[in-house]
Amino acid sequence: MRQVSIVVAVSLALVTHQFSQEPSDEFATQLVEAAIERTSHEVTYDGSYRQIDYPGGDIPDGIGVCTDVVIRAYRGVGVDLQQAVHEDMSAAFSAYPTIWGLKRPDSNIDHRRVLNLQVFFLRNGIKLPVSDNPDDYRAGEIVTWMLPGNLPHVGIVTDQRSSDGIRPMVVHNIGSGPKLEDRLFEFPITGHYKYDGSK
């Protein structure tokens, strides 16, 4: 009987230890809060090329595109995607798309391109399944879509739910500034990632 008790005690200790090692949701919570905060900003949709500082550079707050919502949300939790993407592209330039004809990384624009962010999240984060099940999408995760006209798009999954309580809402900028909307499944999903700033 004593041996059984010892086995049970050890098993409970292992289970407790296992749960204590589960990653914290604190980063995801903070990222969602930063993303939702972006919806309070008035932003004119403008993806034109601009010279910006490096690291920590940004275009004027009153302009931006979908990628700028993601970049600024991550900046809100202390992660500089401009620097992270630039360093990764400098280390593995051939892993990134070449459709823009660049011969070397460009810290002014590389992080502001959805296709580059997809490669970066794939290389440095966790690739998650793409599905039509809303329960597969958790707060703080990144989703990319393909809009009509073959336009790549990106947004952040939040902890807010659609009016019917079924789908997680996303923060994104599809042309009218950062918005919190029920549009997760409105367009074909091309990528699903989790990135907490670590490598």
Q: What pTM did the predictor assign?
A: 0.88
Q: What percent of the chain has pLDDT over 90?
A: 86
> Average pLDDT of 49-53?
98
Alpha carbons 196 and 199: distance in angstroms, whole number: 8
> Which is higher by pLDDT, 43 or 10?
43
Helices assigned H by DSSP within 39-113: 66-75, 81-91
Mean pLDDT of the chain: 90
Confidence band, pLDDT 50/70/90 cuts, at residue 199:
low
> Average pLDDT of 110-129?
98
The verdict on whether omega for the bond into residue 129 sits within 30 degrees of 0, i.e. cis, is no
Lowest mean pLDDT among 3-7, 53-57, 117-121, 163-167: 3-7
Confidence band, pLDDT 50/70/90 cuts, at residue 160:
very high
pLDDT for 198 equals 85
Which domains are assigned to the chain? 2-194 (3.90.1720.10)
Phi-psi map region of 101: left, alpha, beta (phi>0 left; psi -120 to 50 alpha): left
Residues 6+ apart with CB under 8 A from 51: 108
Residues 6+ apart with CB under 8 A from 191: 118, 121, 122, 127, 130, 142, 143, 144
